[in-house]
Structure 1
């Protein structure tokens, strides 16, 4: 089995590490973190900073990479992915309790948490995170570097562009387009397309800033 490297030893990185090991998808996990002063986190070694990743890969210290940086830093997450994409193989973590239709496509760098449901002809683009129990209906596309919080429900024929964040328990009805760099607050209901990026909350949904 392979060794997984995760950028970010914070809460999200620790969750991804836990799933990778407990679900027996990787034999070992290591962290890279620019801010941690610890040598290990939860018994997982921190072997360097992001500047050390390429050298560590050449030295065969890991096989695949994922980015465990949270939704408040999606631009950083995108920058790191694009910087390393053609140099380091990115992994893909799909928890064994998730149901993924055989026609769905989940691209590299993405993490699918326990209990997610991904329906027919769904596309989850690169470097995205679907947290616990998200439900994505048929023919929907989730854009690159996007973060869906627990229990987000997205109906069919929806397109969510890159660098979006959907808060816990938010819902998107069918045939909706959401422009890039959009944030949707917890519990919100999206009933029409969003063409201006920003922060939206509520039911009915309203633009905040």
Structure 2
């Protein structure tokens, strides 16, 4: 079994570490964190800052990398991913309770939480988080560095571009395109394509800012 390194030892990083170990994806986990002063978080060692990652990899202190930075920092997640993707292998966690069609594609750096369903021909791009119970229907693309909150439902033939955030229980109907860096509020319903980035809320959604 491999050792996983997670950038960020906060709430999201700790969630990822639990799934990595309890669902038997990795045998060990280590953290890198630029802000924590702790040496151990939930019994997992913090072995350095992001500047130390390449050296630690060369010293074989870990095998694969994931980014445990939350939805408020998607631009930073992209920067970090692009910094390391050509140098260090990124891991992937697909929880054992998730249902992934054999024709679906889940790219590197992505985490699929318990109870998610990914239908035929769907594509989950790099460095994405799908939280508990998300449903991604057939022929849909979730763009890189996006974050879907619990129980998001995305219908078929939909394209969500990179760095999007979809709030808990939001619903996207079929044949929709959502432009990059868009935020969809909790419980919202998207029935038309969105081509202007910003925050949208409501049922159906309206542009807020």
Report the TM-score range of the alignment, normalised by the length of the smaller protein: over 0.9
Measure, in 2, the Cα distance between the counterparts of 1:205 and 1:142.
19
Query: Distance between the aligned counterparts of 1:173 and 1:182, measured in 2?
Result: 16
1:99 and 2:99 correspond:
yes
- CA-to-aligned-CA distance 1:26-80 (integer Å, 9 cap, x gap): 0000000000000010000000000000000000000000000000000100000
TM norm structure 1? 1.00
Q: Equivalent residue of 1:19, what SS? A: helix
**Equivalent residue number for residue 158 of structure 2:** 158
| Corresponding position of 1:189 | 189
For 2:28 and 2:63, the matched residues in 1 are separated by: 10
State the distance in 1 between where 2:39 and 2:205 align. 45
Instruction: Count how many residue pairs are aligned between Structure 1 and Structure 2.
Output: 209
Match of 1:124 in 2: 124
- Which residue number in structure 2 is paired with residue 40 of structure 1? 40
Which structure 1 residue ranges, 5 or more long, are not aligned? Answer: none
- Please give the alpha-carbon distance, in whole angstroms, between the structure 2 residues aligned to 1:18 and 1:204: 36
Q: CA deviation at 1:204?
A: 1.7
Query: What is the Cα-based RMSD across aligned positions, in Å?
Result: 0.3
The CA distance in 2 between the partners of 1:158 and 1:119, in whole Å, is 12
Distance between the aligned counterparts of 1:87 and 1:4, measured in 2? 15
Alignment of 1:49 with 2:54, yes or no, is no
Partner of 1:59: 59
Matches within 5 A, 1:192-207: 192-207=192-207
Rounded to whole Å, the distance in 2 between the matches of 1:172 and 1:3 is 37
